[in-house]
């Protein structure tokens, strides 16, 4: 893992809970159609925070998509 990944994801359980809460807060405030059966990214809806967090363990994912859910959403909005 790279240095930025370690900075964002090698955190205490308490900090991890805060990160997840912030991501879910962002998700809840998004004004996009959400399909509870499809948590992956589309041109109409970004991926769900849980999907983002799970994929963050994949090498290179955060380098391409952002190290925070907020960064990911900003990038998704630029792509659509």
pLDDT tens for 36-78 read 999 999 999 999 999 999 999 998 999 999 999 999 999 999 9
Q: How many structural domains compose the chain?
A: 1
Q: Distance between CA atoms of 62 and 31, rounded to whole angstroms?
A: 24
Has residue 1 got a pLDDT over 80?
A: no
Tokens of 48: 């769900």
**Mean pLDDT within 23-29:** 97
Per-residue confidence (pLDDT) for residue 3, from 0 to 100: 85
Per-residue confidence (pLDDT) for residue 55, from 0 to 100: 96
Residue 52: which domain range? 3-79
Q: Distance between CA atoms of 4 and 47, rounded to whole angstroms?
A: 21
- Under 8 Å between Cβ of 20 and 12: no
């Amino acid at each position: 893992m790279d240095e930025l990944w370690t900075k964002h994801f090698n955190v205490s359980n308490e900090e991890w809970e805060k990160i997840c809460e912030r991501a879910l807060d962002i998700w809840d405030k998004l004004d996009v159609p959400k399909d509870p059966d499809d948590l992956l990214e589309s041109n109409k809806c970004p991926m769900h925070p849980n999907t983002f967090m799970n994929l963050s363990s994949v090498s290179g994912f955060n380098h391409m998509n952002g190290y925070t859910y907020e960064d990911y959403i900003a990038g998704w909005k630029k792509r659509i």
